[in-house]
Amino acid sequence: MNKAEAHIRIEELNRILHYHNHLYYQKDTSEISDLEFDTLLNELIALEKAYPDLIQPDSATQRVGGTVTKEFASVTHKYPMLSLSNTYSESEIAEFDERVVKSIGQRTDYVCEMKFDGVAISITYKNGILAQAVTRGDGVRGDDVTNNIKTIKSIPLKIQGKDVPEEFEVRGEVYLPYEMFERINKEREDVGEALLANPRNAASGTVKMQDSSIVAKRGLDCFIYSFLKDGETPETHSAALQQLKNWGFQVSDSYKICKSVEEIWSYINHWGEARFKLPLATDGVVIKVNNLLLQSELGMTAKSPRWAIAYKFKAEEAFTPILSVEYQVGRTGAVTPVANLAPVHLAGTTVKRATLHNANEIERLDLHEGDTVFVEKGGEIIPKITRVDLSKRKAGSKRIEFIHACPVCSTPLIRIEGEAAWYCPNDIGCAPQITGKIEHFIQRKAMNIDGIGTETIELLYQKKLISNVADLYTLTYDQLIQLDRFGEKSVNNVLAGIEESKKTPFKNVLFAIGIRYVGATVAEKLAMHFKNINNLKTASQQALLEAPEIGIKIAESVVTWFSNPKHTELIDKLAAAGVKLELSENEIITIDSDLFLGKSFVISGVFEKYDRDELKEIIIKNGGKINSGITGKLDYLVAGENMGPAKLEKAQKLGIKIISEAEFEKLLNG
């Protein structure tokens, strides 16, 4: 395919992919399978790789990210993003209505909308194409996070519709659905990282991540709630919302036109209960004057519009006595205190347990046995204890002290400097750590062993058939067929799944063995750098730090893990079982020369002859190293067209050698 043909095909693929994205995210329907969609997307990726100058600003490939932004440019909002006045009472809503009526001299309709708990974003479209996305910031200036917002699939990159203005702006709330929040926390738990507190904080942190490819994997979503442009606009806010829906924006169907304070309060009461069935966090209701001309007439104060107000739901809170405190041990050995409570109804569910997080939290609350505590679930997935009702504390009640030994194996707990959690160091003899490691090992992103679940692992451990992950490969038909609920078919499925897992790539195996801080991405970096388990096992801390994007915390963890004889014995058993502990030939980048040995590179921008992945491969093949960011130790910045100005400025300040594509070729040719 020549360049002209590629141009036509790229335009056609983008049109097809935008159409199917629109159907899926705005119409809740699909005309093709996920496989067919991915095949089209992969074809587009390949063509753009071959002809990078043909990449369109609204390309469907922008959804998968890949841009790294070290510093976010500050942008002045064309229309200030003011905060809303808040209220918690019906009387203040009535006062708001009275002020509006008095100012405009007539009664008016209002639009009530759910106030979703996320991150406000302002998105500008020019000629129907997403041009810029900016955070609220201080209301006057925000950060340019365009590359990250493009990864959100429900936000159109190109408007599908008629009569689209040459330039306009939409406002919306970027949020993290509960399901995604729980998945991310499971992944963080897998590598021993602290859990995210709530979906709102997680969404805020994700929007400001430097690597848009990571943002794409987080699964952010967005509801659009406002339309702004110079000149003529629809007459009402509700008409503007309908126009936005027609253009392919995701607008929540929960909004309603209300004609009186009574109707507003009815809406609030309804969603005060119904919100707990939504798949995302909410914290109130926004009430807006519907007529846009009247909005303009009412105007703004210095801080907020006079035509809108936010009713904030009070955080769901209940008080109940603590019955006991128990301590759970996770896969990494982290010990988490959990309070068992007298059952209490909260946020649509009956709560019997609440996390106490760690020893610091118990000390902060000054908990005593039998205390009556306030439990809150506002904006949180997991109920938490916020404070103690001291008026109900029994005289002489004993203070709750955090334990000093593991509740399962009695091993003295340790605390790692700089961390709040206490750990059980007995990772090879503590039952919940053993079973937790095996559960981690079999999961889809690791060894992906079908036919085995949590209950099966517990049963196999109790029957002393497994005590570590390597023991899975010694299980026999005769052992399994004797177990309860195991028929011939299920036994064969388990054994087939275990046998199939021996084909799992080395990078997955490295993630599966459960070294602390070594998640799936880090495991891939280590696998590609060290090639096999023996090289990794014998690597010094300094050698590990020379691997791409490996910091001191990960390096120390890897060295510590392999220094344990029980762990090296485990690796030997996996090797004997036939598990892949090295890269296959087609995964290895062969070193052609030592031309760039000891030299480090950062690649930025768009190039004429190569794409960035090709340049990286050339550098690695010639003994060089690719860095993720610019530091004083960097040797070369290979600069292409449209590279980030912040990156260029930093390199210049640090005196880094900046070379063009042509200069790189000269370097390559000696």
**Distance of alpha carbon 289 from alpha carbon 298, whole angstroms:** 9
**CB distance 43 to 2 below 8 Å:** no
Q: Which residue has the tokens 């610019």?
A: 630
**Distance of alpha carbon 545 from alpha carbon 553, whole angstroms:** 10
**Distance of alpha carbon 486 from alpha carbon 348, whole angstroms:** 38
**CB distance 295 to 289 below 8 Å:** yes
**CB distance 376 to 315 below 8 Å:** yes
**CB distance 329 to 105 below 8 Å:** no
Amino acid letter at 289? V
**CB distance 473 to 544 below 8 Å:** no
The residue annotated as part of the active site, out of 27, 102, 115, 657, is 115
Q: Please provide the DSSP assignment of 255-305 as one string.
A: -EEE-SHHHHHHHHHHHHHHGGGSSS-EEEEEEEESBHHHHHHH-B-SSSB
**Distance of alpha carbon 128 from alpha carbon 249, whole angstroms:** 12
Q: Please provide the DSSP assignment of 376-393 as one string.
A: E-TT-SS-EEEEE-GGGP
Q: Is 445 a catalytic residue?
A: no
Question: HEC states along 36-64?
Answer: HHHHHHHHHHHHHHHCHHHCCCCCHHHHH
**Distance of alpha carbon 166 from alpha carbon 126, whole angstroms:** 6
Amino acid letter at 174? V
Q: Token digits for 584?
A: 């296959």
Active site members: 115
